[in-house]
Amino acid sequence: MTTYFNYPPPELQEELKRIANAIVAPGKGILAADESTATIGKRFADISTENTEDNRRKYRQLLFTTDDAVSNNISGVILFHETLYQKADDGTPFVELLKKKNIIPGIKVDKGVVPLFGSEGEGTTQGLDDLDKRCAQYKKDGCDFAKWRCVLKIGKNTPSYQAILENANVLARYASICQANGLVPIVEPEVLPDGDHDLDRAQKVTETVLAAVYKALNDHHVYLEGTLLKPNMVTAGQSCATKFSPEDVAKATVTALQRTVPAAVPGVTFLSGGQTEEEATVHLNAINAFPGKKPWALTFSFGRALQASVLRAWKGKDETVKAGQNELLKRAKANGEAYFGKYVAGSCVGAAAETELFVANHSY
């Protein structure tokens, strides 16, 4: 076994590190606006809005033309391929709109989850084949980071060794290709909340998955200072009979990260995983308020938990754009407060703050 290898050249290291640190700057996190055409269609159906390209453009325009104050709490936006090339009504490309606000554009690069043959309904994520070419193009077109989601399920016999290993290696290969093209890879190994497992089981599975991911990243010589982790918070299964407090969730989550995530990683940007907007903010707050060693920034990369109230207030109408934008400002500010462990539960009242956002076996 050879131990000779190279990290990226110093100037690339500096660029990747600068981008990663800017994304997790104090009080800031990520707006995940990378829903696929099918997924945004489901969100639109809830507000009786037709899923057309122009409606998708109008909705993303609402998000990206929100008052500049949004950049106090949003450092980066994950885009879907279509959105990256769309423009505002006045012809300004969305990428330019974001950069003018000092918000970093990012791009979802995976091509979705496919079944893992021989497993108990597990999957792996596809999209590596032409990833190098796509990353080079996305960097040229204004993106500075990327996201790739892998999914693991908790069951009696899952996640299997096969699924843990395969997904860890896919994430490492993705991360390596991103860095070669100057993109900071957000590594997302999501342990789904589906099931009736308790908090202890969720913590142990999360630890096992993250340990495998960081072993794979090390094997592939990924430069950790130029990466971010997007994990699930450690919560009990959606149908678990026992209810756990935010403090319980915080302890399980921070302990799992302490045991598996190297201090070289600049930050952890949690996914919301079907929690309500309020639950996600309260849990993020508890995680940051939890005492103990936390060498990484602990922030958010929320999709549904930043947009549920926005959609509900907007309703697909031109005259309610401002109402939608106000919801985004409110919830982004609440999550910015949670970054510091200063959010007061219930202080951010949104149009859909308590609305159930869980989707079984969720795919983007």
Name the residue type at position 238. Answer: Q
Quote the CA–CA distance of 83 and 281 in Å, as a whole number. Answer: 26
Q: Give the angle 330-335-341 at the CA atoms, nearest 5°.
A: 130
The question of whether 225 is a catalytic residue gets the answer no
Which stretch of DSSP H or E encloses residue 148?
A: strand 145-152
The question of whether 247 is a catalytic residue gets the answer no
Are the beta carbons of 74 and 299 closer than 8 angstroms? no
Alpha helices in 220-276 (DSSP H): 246-260
Quote the CA–CA distance of 209 and 194 in Å, as a whole number. Answer: 16
Q: Give the angle 306-330-73 at the CA atoms, nearest 5°.
A: 75
Q: How far apart are the first and last CA of the chain?
A: 39
Name the residue type at position 198. Answer: D
Quote the CA–CA distance of 358 and 251 in Å, as a whole number. Answer: 23
Q: Which of 58, 101, 153, 230 is catalytic?
A: 230
DSSP state at residue 352: T
Tokens found for residue 62? 């609402």
Q: Which of 15, 166, 188, 279 is catalytic?
A: 188
Q: Which CB contacts under 8 angstroms, 24+ apart, belong to 155-162?
A: 155/120, 155/121, 155/195, 157/120, 158/119, 158/120, 158/121, 158/122, 159/122, 159/191, 159/205, 159/208, 159/209, 160/119, 160/120, 160/122, 162/116, 162/118, 162/119, 162/122
CB neighbours of 5 closer than 8 A, spacing ≥ 6? 221
Partners of 107 in the beta sheet?
79, 146
Task: Tell me the catalytic residues.
Answer: 188, 230
